[in-house]
Amino acid sequence: MIIKIVLVSSFCVSLLAALLHVNTETATGSEHNRVNGTVVMGTKGESLPDTITLKLFEIDQTANTITEIESTTPDYLGNFKFRSSLSNLKNYRIVVIGSSYIDYFDLKSENHTSVEIIIYSKTTSLENISVKDYLIMIPSLNAKNRIAGFLSVVEIENSSDRVWIPDITNPSLTGLDLFRFNLPKRYKSLSVESQLPEGNILEIETGFAMTNPIPPGSHSILIGYQAEYKEDNLKFPLRLPFGANEIKILIPKDKGIIKNKYFQQTENVIINQNTFLSFEGSKIEKGTQLDVEFKELPQPNAQENLINLIQSRTYSVILVGFLSTIILIVISYFFWKHLIDTQGQENFTSRQKLLIHQIALLDRNYEMNEIPAEKYHKERTILMEKIVSSDSFE
């Protein structure tokens, strides 16, 4: 009997220990799937603003939706914690509101704890913004329509510890106060993608400007557009207000060249089995204008020129002009013929004029039924014979 009690007691202890172990693991696992971390001020000498709010969002890439789960505020040291447990099978994002700009931080599935989010004080000065690498590529050239397709990848750097944000409320704000790129004349179909926080693209005739905040560090910008060219050349007044440490231009082999004192032709580059001529420059100072000219670009052939002419307004102008000329010639001809005929009538003799007058009277009398038909035809025939037999002209 005693042995049985001991066995039962041992079983209960083992069961209790197992339950405690499971609960401990569950609590630990649940704690591991909760987001916590610290908001850090990255600008020296500045304190964290007390207006910061952190929002946790769940991203469903299948349904293409983003849903807010929870919001929290950091303590005076910047520490924060979300209560919700996260799934390793889903994507999450923390949005920071209340600092100089709205920023976000994408969580990695393997790291939901000890998240560090760095924020910065703002500046409106572009002094510390520069271009590290600038790649300009022409992946396509449409000879029929004389259109060059451009693709540019630009790596920029903010070497300060402040985020650049333009003061768009300033009424004296100009393009010189914005981060900007210039493009060829007659550019179209502009598209811009970047790693920068949310902002707007402001297009102008000579290019575009960006209002996106630029935090400290390096960031990439992808620019796509098209430009029309005339004859076989395209002039690109490439201005670099922020300079460029390295700049490269790629153009398809046998479809054009560039000439510019800032560039040297280097070894060809092969991309997707296509060969490109490579022209490189370096150490371009801020404010430099390169004036790049693309030459020997593809031209439309005779058939494409004819199609372009038919589809253009020029064809309509030529057709209308041609028809107008024909009509003018016809009118001029009939006017000239009428003038000659009129002059011929003025050269009849006095006798012929008298006979013509008699025929006219005879015709009128016949039409008024004043003379019989037999007499009318007989007398008219006699008068006509007299006109023909008399002297034709004086």
CATH number, domain of 194, equals 2.60.40.1730
Residues 177 and 204 occupy one common structural domain = yes
Can you give the pLDDT at residue 149?
A: 95
d(CA 39, CA 240): 36
Given the DSSP bridges, would you call strands 288-289 and 65-72 parallel, antiparallel or unpaired? unpaired
Residues 169 and 287 occupy one common structural domain = yes
- Does residue 381 form part of some domain? yes
- Does residue 114 form part of some domain? yes
Among candidate residues 270, 301, 332, the one where a domain is terminated? 301
Residues 203 and 292 occupy one common structural domain = yes
How remote is the C-alpha of 382 from its chain's centroid? 88
Question: Among 110, 122, 235, 137, which Cα is nearest to 168's?
Answer: 122
- Does residue 306 form part of some domain? no
Among candidate residues 253, 273, 301, the one where a domain is terminated? 301
CATH number at 37 reads 2.60.40.180
Per-residue pLDDT of the chain (394 residues; tens, 9 = 90+): 333 433 344 444 454 444 444 444 444 445 557 899 999 999 999 999 999 999 999 998 888 889 999 999 999 999 999 998 888 778 899 999 988 888 888 887 666 778 999 999 999 999 999 999 999 999 999 988 899 999 999 999 999 999 999 998 888 888 889 999 999 988 999 999 999 998 999 998 899 999 999 999 999 999 999 999 988 899 999 999 999 999 999 999 999 888 888 999 999 999 988 999 999 999 999 999 999 999 999 987 655 555 555 566 655 656 556 666 777 677 666 666 665 665 555 555 677 667 777 777 877 777 777 888 888 778 878 877 777 665 544 4
d(CA 126, CA 173): 13
Residues 107 and 145 occupy one common structural domain = no
- Does residue 307 form part of some domain? no
- Does residue 44 form part of some domain? yes
d(CA 291, CA 278): 17
- Does residue 124 form part of some domain? no
Residues 102 and 184 occupy one common structural domain = no
Residues 61 and 176 occupy one common structural domain = no
d(CA 157, CA 139): 26
Contact 224, 189 (CB under 8 A): yes
d(CA 355, CA 166): 100
Nearest-10 crossing angle of helices 313-345, 302-311: 70
In the DSSP assignment, the letter for residue 360 is H
Q: How many domains in the chain?
A: 4
Can you give the pLDDT at residue 210?
A: 95
Would you call 199 helix, strand, or coil by DSSP? coil
Residues 201 and 294 occupy one common structural domain = yes
Residues 167 and 259 occupy one common structural domain = yes
Contact 312, 304 (CB under 8 A): no
Helices marked H in 81-219: none
d(CA 212, CA 165): 7
Residues 47 and 73 occupy one common structural domain = yes
Structure tokens that stand for 295 in this block: 């030459």
Residues 13 and 38 occupy one common structural domain = no
Among candidate residues 119, 141, 172, the one where a domain is terminated? 119
**Domain residue limits at 19:** 1-29
- Does residue 309 form part of some domain? no
Residues 174 and 273 occupy one common structural domain = yes
Give the chain's radius of gyration (CA, Å): 45
**Which residue spans within 234-375 are E strands per DSSP?**
234-236, 239-240, 244-252, 257-259, 264-271, 274-284, 288-289, 292-295
d(CA 260, CA 136): 14
- Does residue 394 form part of some domain? no
Residues 82 and 25 occupy one common structural domain = no
